[in-house]
A = this chain, B = another copy of it.
């Protein structure tokens, strides 16, 4: 609590003031460095645009930094994050380490020290957001998370500010650029998954250990954050069903093309009569859909509001410059309040609810794509058709490319619209057949939420 004298001083602060706001960056890799460099490059322009708020990097930290290391503006890069978080000349801490270990400590300690925080860390916010926002709320401090989903695409602002007076029905889209790059390569060049992954690694889009991206866990953390903001309830990322793209093959893109479609990894959260259906997995999308148009490492997030209708936000989902711009959008907004010694109204109320969201399966009937890989022999189609009919499902089409071999034959069955629990029972039955060489690849045929 401020004294009366201090309060009077603050009240008298003119609008056009020049109080400097000081930023400490913990983690000086791709994102941390880009953030520092863009800020240094555009500091004067930002000051002009904000009526005099001067924002300056004062502290940098990188694990293992040598004693002589210097970063942007010649600032010493120190190896211990405590030297940034505890520094008197830091108002805002940018956490750019990633992961849920040290990053967690950095954010907690920063808030406890009375510093605002900005982070691009989706894993941390998805898992510990509720706790961290509760702590920040106690201290009346903001946490900026614009960069945690969609890279430079301002989807956090869109969902929490632009739709502040609407009710979200669905949020879904392509939120992992690495997986999208791989699927686009497979689509355009007919290559297998392994080859496309190698290309993504060579192009710098995929890590040496690509599991977080291709197995869908990165997308899961992002949709967990979007769902919290959209539906104002609590959820654990571990409760979200996740299917990656390892099982998608060049053959699937052949069949997709015959069905006038392509394949995209989609993270989706949608309200239905029983609750919220949240999932990450590959979808078969029509080639003329907006989802199909998103290629390479780009992201596209769709928001469906009861009143506002369907919106789409598209742009670069990763990379230092895009992510750094998003980090700085939060830094500038917070700095405007810091400079005037104002607390900032909380814009991310979705993280304040402790009531768990009711999760639901995809009960809305949709069409389905089943790709079966079998050792060919007479009667296979009859047995598959019988298993499908047993659940009361109608087959829409059976497609088989002529070039497949008898020893390892792939064919596709598409189904008329039916709910997910029903199709899952049919797939479980089919997977029991001893002619099946690998489990059925099951993809919903959806090009937009609710279709």
Chain A residues at the B interface, C-beta cutoff of 8 Å: 1-2, 4, 7-8, 11, 15, 34, 38-39, 42, 45-46, 48-51, 137, 140, 146, 152-154, 157-158, 161-167, 232, 290, 293, 305, 307-316, 321-322, 324-326, 328-329, 331-333, 336-337, 340, 342-343, 345-346, 349-350, 352
Looking at the assembled complex, report how far the CB atom of A439 sits from the nearest CB atom of chain B, in whole angstroms: 36
Contact at A349–B50, with CB atoms within 8 Å? yes
Q: Which of B309, B313, B331, B345 contacts A165 (CB 8 A)?
A: B331
Please give 18 more A-B residue pairs, beta carbons under 8 A apart, in addition to A290-B314, A342-B342.
A7-B8, A15-B140, A39-B165, A48-B232, A153-B311, A158-B158, A161-B329, A161-B332, A162-B325, A165-B328, A290-B293, A293-B293, A308-B316, A308-B321, A309-B321, A310-B315, A311-B314, A340-B343
Contact at A165–B7, with CB atoms within 8 Å? no
Looking at the assembled complex, report how far the CB atom of A338 sits from the nearest CB atom of chain B, in whole angstroms: 10
List 18 interface pairs A-B (beta carbons < 8 Å), by A numbering: A4-B4, A38-B165, A42-B165, A49-B164, A49-B232, A49-B349, A154-B157, A154-B161, A162-B325, A290-B293, A307-B322, A307-B324, A310-B315, A311-B313, A311-B316, A312-B312, A312-B315, A313-B313
Question: What are the 6 tightest A-B residue pairs by CB atom distance, in nearest-first order?
Answer: A165-B328, A154-B162, A311-B315, A336-B345, A152-B308, A164-B332
Looking at the assembled complex, report how far the CB atom of A301 sits from the nearest CB atom of chain B, in whole angstroms: 11
Please name all residues of chain B whose beta carbon is closer than 8 Å to the beta carbon of A165 when the two chains form the complex: 38-39, 42, 46, 325, 328-329, 331-332
CA distance A1 to B14 in the complex (A): 12
Please name all residues of chain B whose beta carbon is closer than 8 Å to the beta carbon of A8 when the two chains form the complex: 4, 7
Looking at the assembled complex, report how far the CB atom of A437 sits from the nearest CB atom of chain B, in whole angstroms: 38
Please name all residues of chain B whose beta carbon is closer than 8 Å to the beta carbon of A325 when the two chains form the complex: 162-163, 165-166, 305, 307-308
Looking at the assembled complex, report how far the CB atom of A191 sits from the nearest CB atom of chain B, in whole angstroms: 22
Please name all residues of chain B whose beta carbon is closer than 8 Å to the beta carbon of A305 when the two chains form the complex: 152, 325
Please name all residues of chain B whose beta carbon is closer than 8 Å to the beta carbon of A326 when the two chains form the complex: 162, 308
Looking at the assembled complex, report how far the CB atom of A343 sits from the nearest CB atom of chain B, in whole angstroms: 8
Please name all residues of chain B whose beta carbon is closer than 8 Å to the beta carbon of A342 when the two chains form the complex: 342, 345
Looking at the assembled complex, report how far the CB atom of A35 sits from the nearest CB atom of chain B, in whole angstroms: 9
Using CB atoms, name the residue of chain B closest to A162: B154
Looking at the assembled complex, report how far the CB atom of A333 sits from the nearest CB atom of chain B, in whole angstroms: 6
Please name all residues of chain B whose beta carbon is closer than 8 Å to the beta carbon of A322 when the two chains form the complex: 307-309
Please name all residues of chain B whose beta carbon is closer than 8 Å to the beta carbon of A316 when the two chains form the complex: 308-311
CA distance A329 to B158 in the complex (A): 10
Looking at the assembled complex, report how far the CB atom of A231 sits from the nearest CB atom of chain B, in whole angstroms: 11
Please name all residues of chain B whose beta carbon is closer than 8 Å to the beta carbon of A352 when the two chains form the complex: 51
Looking at the assembled complex, report how far the CB atom of A363 sits from the nearest CB atom of chain B, in whole angstroms: 24
Contact at A328–B164, with CB atoms within 8 Å? yes
Using CB atoms, name the residue of chain B closest to A326: B162
Looking at the assembled complex, report how far the CB atom of A318 sits from the nearest CB atom of chain B, in whole angstroms: 11
CA distance A36 to B305 in the complex (A): 17
Please name all residues of chain B whose beta carbon is closer than 8 Å to the beta carbon of A345 when the two chains form the complex: 50, 333, 336-337, 340, 342
Please name all residues of chain B whose beta carbon is closer than 8 Å to the beta carbon of A290 when the two chains form the complex: 293, 314
Using CB atoms, name the residue of chain B closest to A350: B49
Contact at B346–A51, with CB atoms within 8 Å? yes
Contact at A46–B164, with CB atoms within 8 Å? yes
Please name all residues of chain B whose beta carbon is closer than 8 Å to the beta carbon of A309 when the two chains form the complex: 152, 315-316, 321-322
Using CB atoms, name the residue of chain B closest to A37: B307
Contact at A329–B164, with CB atoms within 8 Å? yes
CA distance A359 to B233 in the complex (A): 49
Please name all residues of chain B whose beta carbon is closer than 8 Å to the beta carbon of A313 when the two chains form the complex: 311-314
Known pairs A4-B4, A322-B307; A163 contacts B329 (CB<8 A): yes
Looking at the assembled complex, report how far the CB atom of A157 sits from the nearest CB atom of chain B, in whole angstroms: 6
